[in-house]
Amino acid sequence: MDGINYPEEELRKETAYYKKQLDKLSGQSMRYDLTITTMRHSLKQKNDTFAVLTSLQKKYTVITPFDTFLAETIKAICTNLSMDRAVALVPSADHGIFKLHHHYGYPAGQFDAAPVKEIYITGEYLKGRKIFLINKKTIPDDAANQIQKFFAINYFVGMPVWHDEKPVAFIIAGRLVERPPFSPVLDKGDADSLIAILGLISAVLQNKKSVELELQKTEVQKENEIITAQRNMLEKTLKDLKAAQSQLIQSEKMASLGELTAGIAHEIQNPLNFVNNFSEVSRELLDEMKTELDLGNTADAKEIAADVIQNLEKITQHGKRADAIVKGMLQHSRSSSAVKEPTDINVLADEYIRLCYHGLRAKDKSFNATIKTDFDPSPEPINIIPQDIGRVILNLLTNAFYAVNEKKKQSDNDYEPTVTITTTSIQPPLGGRSVAIKVSDNGGGIPQRVLDKIFQPFFTTMPTGQGTGLGLSLSYDIITKGHAGELKVETKEGEGTTFTISLPINSN
């Protein structure tokens, strides 16, 4: 070296030194290369994950079906994260059991003929304490072996999709081989990528739920507004109906009073005729008595006086009869004071059947029917509101006379219209004593198709203008609510109808 001679020993030392330095620099270079490779891999994972998240964010909206979430997610994972295959599982009815719902990266028809793929995923994987990260260095547990076998995927990552604090799906993605750099080994970065992607799905699902709840809240508010408007309209309609019902009830009472008044007018005419006739006869007898007295025929005058006294007694008798009828009319026309009093039901029934019959005769001179009565021979006074029960009896009798009259119009001369009223003391099986009042007719009967409706308000089988449909409804309320009794009907089409009133004797 330029004529300079170095000792051999010095040369060896320097050579060894420089060799050592070169080895040291080479090791550092390899470590730097490894670090750079690792950083590049991690950066690629993050970039790929960002690409997946960006792609999915553009597709995921609150109106996207969950089924679409799963299909698009496994496709994006395979496309962007260098995964060969991916499956989306959904939970079945049994806890921990998941079944195949979507798959990507498999040959066409691979699962078509196979039975439904179901696997059991243990609780530690579902509760987030453990995730699947299976690579060459991992010893698979039973659950991982099951996934490798069922879904033909050697190395994979897998974890649940969470929503409302429960797993709603389970995503598994992986590779068939691990040969870096083209098929790198699965590592924590791949698991973090999957966590980020599935976190996006959970966030979208939660947002979707919030929007749905807000929409439901809006819909509920709209429905409440509609319900409020309908309620106001119904309240107004109900108010109008109550007003109309009150008018119809009053009309029904007035109609009932009109029928009763016609009967009373006919009934009161009889005693008035007697009073007038006996008064006229008595006046003539008194004239005769004066003549006999003038002639001195005292005996004849006394006989005439006896006849006059007898006539006056008749006048008094029929006057009292007229007075009783007037009092009954006033009592019936008075509004009920809801005060019950002991009443002879036989007298009440007999009174109203005659008044009802004569009332109908007053309206229609051609009307005629046979009246039959069968009263309890020893009735016990019954505690009732007489005018209310009278209205019920009058209504049932009016219906009965109407039924026989209608049948007579359609029958031959052999038909005899008949209405029967009976009273009977009964001993119910459960104790207590009652009186049964039956009103029967041999009219056309009530059709079975409408039998269940006859006690409903405003329902009537009479032609328009001849009935309000309130008579039986009011009668039912008077008997059942006002007197703790029963009102029943038995009928047979073409043969007749029987209404039975049952009233407890000592009802308070």
3-class SS string, 399-415: HHHHHHHHHHHHCCCCC
Query: What confidence score (pLDDT) does residue 366 get?
Result: 83
Query: What confidence score (pLDDT) does residue 124 get?
Result: 82
| Mean pLDDT computed over 111-128 | 75
Of residues 463 and 426, more confidently modeled: 426
Rounded CA-CA distance 356/353 in Å is 5
Provide the mean pLDDT of the chain: 79
Query: What confidence score (pLDDT) does residue 469 get?
Result: 45
Give the residue from 259, 242, 252 showing the smallest Cα distance to 473.
252
Query: What confidence score (pLDDT) does residue 490 get?
Result: 92
The token duo for 461 is 């089988």
| Mean pLDDT computed over 313-335 | 66
Write out pLDDT tens, residues 246-269. Answer: 666 666 666 655 655 655 665 676
Write out pLDDT tens, residues 20-79. Answer: 766 666 666 566 555 555 566 666 667 677 777 777 767 767 677 888 888 888 888 888
* Domain layout of the chain by residue ranges: 39-211, 343-504
Count Cβ atoms below 10 Å from residue 224 Cβ, excluding itself. 11
pTM over 0.75: no
Q: How confident is the model at residue 125 (pLDDT cuts 50, 70, 90)?
A: confident
- 240 CB-near residues (< 8 Å, 6+ apart): none
Rounded CA-CA distance 480/281 in Å is 52
Write out pLDDT tens, residues 182-217. Answer: 778 888 888 888 888 888 888 888 887 887 778 788
| Mean pLDDT computed over 278-307 | 82
Query: What confidence score (pLDDT) does residue 332 get?
Result: 47
| pLDDT of residue 479 exceeding 70 | yes
Superfamily of domain 343-504: Histidine kinase-like ATPase, C-terminal domain (3.30.565.10)
Q: Is 39-211's fold the same as 343-504's?
A: no
Of residues 492 and 128, more confidently modeled: 492
Q: How confident is the model at residue 468 (pLDDT cuts 50, 70, 90)?
A: very low
Order of strands, edge to edge, in the sheet holding 97-104? 118-120, 97-104, 85-91, 166-175, 155-163, 132-134
Query: What confidence score (pLDDT) does residue 116 get?
Result: 61
Write out pLDDT tens, residues 157-174. Answer: 998 988 888 888 999 999
Rounded CA-CA distance 226/406 in Å is 49
Rounded CA-CA distance 155/138 in Å is 9
Rounded CA-CA distance 288/356 in Å is 43
Of residues 432 and 447, more confidently modeled: 447
Query: What confidence score (pLDDT) does residue 200 get?
Result: 82
Query: What confidence score (pLDDT) does residue 187 get?
Result: 86
Give yes or no for a contact between 458 and 413, defined as CB atoms under 8 angstroms apart.
no
Query: What confidence score (pLDDT) does residue 465 get?
Result: 44
Q: Does domain 39-211 have CATH number 3.30.450.40?
A: yes
